[in-house]
Amino acid sequence: MGPISHVHDTSQPIFILTLNPNNPANTTLLDESGNTIYTIRTLFDEKGVPTTSVHGENGKRVADWRWRDTRLSAQMLRFEGAGIGVGKIQTMDANGRETVGGKGRVAASRWLRKCLVPFKSTVVFEDLRGGEYKWKNNDPGLHLQLVSTLDTSSPIARFVPPTIDPKNTPVALAKLLLTDDAEDIMDEVVVSWALLEISKREKEVADGNRISAGALVLV
């Protein structure tokens, strides 16, 4: 991965990844120089089943997942960089049931685990080195923030929604802000964020909560 521009706030440098457009299922994540760092695309097979793929700046696939709905347990994930899809795992049959299969996919809920304590809106994952991280605010109307369990007071990544003017034209595009601490797990950050954000946007639309939600159009 090439260099990513830094900006400074009052605490520490962060990486800025701008979403163009503000659609977690179909977007390009750009650095401050306009270079493509990640692309996220969702395509449908002949049966109408969507597969969302994340590719890095070199075009190499980082992860992908097939899904029939946005529940984590229904999204079959392949993400070798996180150790997902590297052995005998579960696959999904035509009725959406898990069956024993070959190398390839596993339910995303095995990697992204929902917490009930202290807040049910928290989702936890681990990297390959055993580091544990929590996505906070995984609820409609809130904006995702990632913390390390070693320091839950300071987010290492967070989603900033677009600024909308009265005419509904974005003034500032949506962004993912990452601190230096998130650099080594940037793939994990982007993949986990996309999985959660797609689901959260669907719930926001279903609940009629469109504030800062953006439109989710799978094309």
Higher pLDDT, 210 or 152: 152
- Asked if 196 and 144 touch (Cβ cutoff 8 Å), the reply is yes
How high is the mean pLDDT of the chain?
84
**Domain-located, residue 123:** yes
Which structural domain, as residue segments, surrounds residue 62? 17-205
- Asked if 156 and 147 touch (Cβ cutoff 8 Å), the reply is yes
pLDDT interval class at 213 (50, 70, 90): very low
**Domain-located, residue 83:** yes
d(CA 93, CA 136): 32
**Domain-located, residue 2:** no
pLDDT interval class at 212 (50, 70, 90): very low
**Domain-located, residue 99:** yes
**Domain-located, residue 118:** yes
pLDDT for position 87: 60
Write phi, then psi, for 54 (nearest 5 degrees).
-115, 125
| pLDDT tens, residue by residue, 62-109 | 999 999 888 999 999 999 999 997 664 444 444 554 444 445 799 999
Non-local (6+) Cβ contacts of 177 within 8 A are 14, 15, 16, 17, 157, 158, 159, 160
101 burial type by CB count under 10 A (0-12 exposed, 13-18 middle, 19+ buried) = middle
**Domain-located, residue 214:** no
Distances (CA, A) of 28 to 13, 14, 64, 85, 117: 22, 19, 15, 25, 34
Residue 68: both structure tokens together: 């029939």
pLDDT for position 6: 40
Higher pLDDT, 169 or 157: 157
pLDDT interval class at 183 (50, 70, 90): confident
**Domain-located, residue 134:** yes
**Domain-located, residue 216:** no
d(CA 165, CA 144): 22
Mean pLDDT (whole number) for 190-219: 74
| pLDDT tens, residue by residue, 14-48 | 899 999 999 999 999 999 999 999 999 999 999 99
Report cis status (omega within 30 of 0) of the bond before 50. Answer: no
Between vectors from CA 87 to CA 82 and to CA 93, what angle results, nearest 5°? 100
pLDDT for position 11: 47
Range of lowest pLDDT (4-8, 52-56, 72-76, 109-113) = 4-8
pLDDT for position 14: 85
What is the domain count for the chain?
A: 1
Give 122's DSSP letter: -
pLDDT for position 8: 38
| pLDDT tens, residue by residue, 151-165 | 999 999 999 999 887
pLDDT for position 97: 47
